[in-house]
Amino acid sequence: MKSAVSILLTRLLSLISFFFLSIHTEAQTITIPVVVHVLWKTSAENISDAQVQSQIDVLNEDFGRINADTINTPAVWQSIAANTEIQFCLAQTDPLGNPTTGIVHVQTTVNSFTNDDAVKFHAQGGDDSWDATRYFNIWVCNLGNGFIGYAAFPSFPQNIYGVVMKYNVFGRIGNIDPSYNKGRSTTHEIAHCFNLSNLAPVSNCVDNDSVPDTPTPSVASYGCPTYPLLSACNPVTGDMFMNFMAYTDDSCMNLFTLGQKQRMRAVLTSPPYNSLSTSNVCNYTGINKLNNISPHLVFPNPSGGKFIVEAKGDLIIYNLYGKRIFQQKLISGKSEIDLSNYSKGIYFIYLSSEKGEIFTGKIILE
């Protein structure tokens, strides 16, 4: 066993080397288009779009370091806690150029899936991946055999690249297991897709994740330990059990490090997945292409903020920046929509009727 002084000196030299490599580098935000395949057999497994959106919100908070619990990062690691400058958006254009919400609900006859990737193939009761160089694929389903999620590393075949998550650990609202209720399981698994390893104990305190600023723990931590969790490998700072790649509870995790940021971005700025950041599928090419909402469906247009949609089906409205601002299932055939609290300007409408027709267009608020 190395002495505590030897361990600290080795780690200090690694950190110095890392910071000299990364100093003065400025990264641009990488935005990853996401498609979520919801595989369901029971109604409980068919999670809502709102639950899916809550998971996207968690990812953007965690990877952007705007999560509310950053205040729980110990002072010793505040300087290396990273905004990874990686963000996520639900795709708005499907592989055929048609508008989409980025969420695909697929009914299956499979009672539960496991980690054999069957969920990623239509022929095996799942749903085929969308082009992994243009979309980041997430499959949500009933996972059995004790799994709550698993990931494919970037070296894996493209048609299975992405993460698989159990339906009741995905997001932070709706049908959620109280033990995994903050969406951090998905944060953890997606980081594996970007080449991060678990912070797992190894013998002799040897670095196990190729990231110099993440201290290797002596033992695996579960639950939510009290800081500092001093150990043989980290007798001064303690173990970094609050890292997103640790094994602790959702409520205990709150940071990625600068070294982890560098490693993840290396995947997303190199072939083949550098094309994700230039994929335009989060833009509204499909909406602009169809633009087939007639005056009798939405009126008056322009509007002072309140208008009528004469249809039955699913209505979604986006602002010019692609943010979903309104969603409602229309059941009456003639519904009044109130956007009077929103700014004047142009908004995009996506309407999927109960007959399977898709209408898209613009509403102008004056």
CA nearest neighbour of 13 among 240, 255, 200, 207: 207
Distances in Å between the Cα of 76 and the Cα atoms of 67, 72, 73, 236, 283 are 19, 11, 8, 10, 41
Active-site residue 189, yes or no?
Answer: yes
Those residues with Cβ within 8 angstroms of residue 269's Cβ, 6 or more apart along the chain or in another chain: 30, 277
Distances in Å between the Cα of 223 and the Cα atoms of 106, 231, 246, 251 are 34, 17, 10, 9
CA nearest neighbour of 158 among 122, 189, 117: 117
Q: Per the residue annotation, which of 26, 61, 85, 189 is the catalytic one?
A: 189
Those residues with Cβ within 8 angstroms of residue 327's Cβ, 6 or more apart along the chain or in another chain: 49, 50, 314, 315, 316, 317
Using CB atoms within 10 Å of the CB of residue 274, give its burial: 0 to 12 exposed, 13 to 18 middle, 19+ buried: middle
Cβ 252 vs Cβ 224: under 8 Å? yes
Active site residues: 189
